[in-house]
Structure 1
Amino acid sequence: MNSQISPSPQFYLTAPAACPYLPGEYERKVFTHLVGPRAAEMNDLLTQGGFRRSQNIAYRPACEACRACVSVRILVDQFEPSRTMRRVLNANSDITAEIYPAQPSTEQFSLFRTYLDSRHQRGGMSDMSALDYAIMVEDTHVNTRIIEYRRRVEGSGIGAAKGELVGVALTDMMSDGLSMVYSFFNPELEKRSFGTFMILDHINRTRTLGLPHVYLGYWVKGSAKMGYKTRYQPQEHLTARGWELYTGEDEA
């Protein structure tokens, strides 16, 4: 693929396809390539404009008759965890997290397959191979990192054993915060609300960096599996008028 990028990126429109979130609906996406020396800058601008990244593609919904997909970002400085969220943090106090360059591993892929086989057997990612996973992680021209979550073990220093890998987040480091591109975890930890724990960890990391936002991607009105995204308050939703404070009225 050509690694050059023109001063003005070229945008393309996909053909209609079945919507993965709302039965009976069809989706279209507008997309462009994130390559070349300005890829990170372009990723920032496009993410702030409602796009999401997948490998070296930035895309956003462009459906003809539906506006259910809404970009969501958490306002980190004002965020306070609820009592339930504090219990989640306590339940996962035995977990450590380390950040690394965006490089795949066999251990990550094994956990990824376990997660897909448990949670997304019929999804579009269900048949992903080790090579597909490696491409998902490595095919990036922006500032992307892998965060590994492990059970804490005693001991430290050179040669110390690593704890069991229980979660992974693929995260873009942006000028105004962190964007959670994709995350997965050991399904056995679902009772610990481990997905919630990883979002809370990203909020804490963003606050430590002195940046204002955690981008969660799209909240889809009417999709039960996307409902969790509105729990992290306060947050902003991208509307036709720009980023606006979410009040819950969209769910009425």
Structure 2
Amino acid sequence: MTQHSPKSPQFFLTSPSPCPYLDGQFERKVFTHLVGDKAAEMNDLLTQGGFRRSQNIAYRPACETCRACVSVRILANEFMPSKNMRRIQNLNSDIIGVEHTAEPTSEQYSLFRRYLDSRHRQGGMSEMTVLDYAMMVEDTHVPTRIVEYRLRDPDSFITGGSTGPLQAVALSDRMADGFSMVYSFFDPDQTPRSLGTWMILDHIERARAAGLPHVYLGYWVEGSRKMEYKTRFRPQEHLLADGWERIDS
């Protein structure tokens, strides 16, 4: 693994490639490696500055002709769920989420594979093998947890856990000011449960319980239908030219 000084990180720029969100646009990314004993501190600073983490790399868009990608974070302490979100919370009251160390399992990969085949068959992750999945989960130098969401079993109210069927999984970084949702996936046969929304709602509650003000959702791209859901969680902040700007409506 390439080593870089955390005190003076080296940044690199990718070559242009077709944008996965907007037709006719080309994307470039600036990135650096998150390694060493200061990786968590660097990840906090870079995430607050609009970067995202993928394995041991932090990156952000650096496109030449487009600024559509906007970093989004939810203000957890002020968030109030909508009527539809409360319905989703009630619908999933039979699911329990338990945090684990960032370790992959064959059960997780099986669900991940089903999710990709159903929702993202043509996406950039569609060919990920079990080894690729393991690297996505394990290759981290920052505080990362994996949350497994399972149907409650008869002992859940006693043990706080569950051995029930796995419904969804979220890979998240714990930062000084919140949680950053790195990647999440769910059972594609459970569409009526809106499990993607449910996991975000759960992370908001986890942030509140931990006394953390933010939940980072990554990038919102205006005009991209697959990104529209991120703007439903208000109030939130968008990282614009002058810094984080509050968005209430």
Q: Same fold (TM over 0.5)?
A: yes
Deviations 1:125-161 (A, max 9, x none): 0010000000000000000000000011112578x97
Distance 1:7 1:219 in 2: 30
- CA shift for structure 1 position 6: 4.3
Cα separation, partners in 2 of 1:42 and 1:117, compared to 1, 3 Å: same
- CA shift for structure 1 position 200: 0.1
Cα separation, partners in 2 of 1:6 and 1:39, compared to 1, 3 Å: closer
Q: 1:5 and 2:8 equivalent? A: no
Distance 2:190 2:236 in 1: 26
Q: Match for 1:238: what amino acid?
A: L
Alignment partner of 1:195: what SS?
helix
Deviations 1:28-48 (A, max 9, x none): 000000000100000000000
1:14-163 residue pairs with structure 2 within 5 A?
14-155=14-155, 162-163=163-164
Q: Match for 2:179: what amino acid?
A: L
Alignment partner of 1:171: what SS?
strand
Residue in structure 2 matched with residue 217 of structure 1 by the alignment:
218
Cα separation, partners in 2 of 1:83 and 1:169, compared to 1, 3 Å: same
Residue in structure 1 matched with residue 185 of structure 2 by the alignment:
184
Distance 1:114 1:221 in 2: 28
Q: TM-score, normalised by structure 1?
A: 0.95
Residue in structure 2 matched with residue 167 of structure 1 by the alignment:
168
Distance 2:92 2:215 in 1: 21
- CA shift for structure 1 position 5: 2.4
Alignment partner of 1:88: what SS?
helix
The alignment-based identity, stated in percent, is 67
Distance 1:214 1:7 in 2: 26
Distance 1:219 1:213 in 2: 16
Q: Match for 1:51: what amino acid?
A: F
Q: Match for 1:190: what amino acid?
A: T
Q: TM-score, normalised by structure 2?
A: 0.97
Q: Structure 2: any 5+ residue segments left out of the alignment?
A: none
Residue in structure 1 matched with residue 199 of structure 2 by the alignment:
198
Q: Structure 1: any 5+ residue segments left out of the alignment?
A: none
Alignment partner of 1:21: what SS?
coil
Alignment partner of 1:245: what SS?
strand
CA RMSD between the two structures: 1.3
Distance 2:200 2:130 in 1: 26
- CA shift for structure 1 position 247: 4.9
Deviations 1:88-111 (A, max 9, x none): 000001001100000000000000
Deviations 1:145-196 (A, max 9, x none): 00000011112578x9710001000000000000000000001111111100
Alignment partner of 2:135: what SS?
helix
Instruction: Provide the aligned length of Structure 1 versus Structure 2.
Output: 247
Distance 1:74 1:186 in 2: 25
Paired residues of 2:152 and 2:162 also in contact (CA < 8 A): no
Distance 2:205 2:34 in 1: 28
Alignment partner of 1:118: what SS?
helix
Paired residues of 2:97 and 2:149 also in contact (CA < 8 A): yes
Cα separation, partners in 2 of 1:22 and 1:152, compared to 1, 3 Å: same
Distance 1:229 1:161 in 2: 29
Alignment partner of 1:42: what SS?
helix
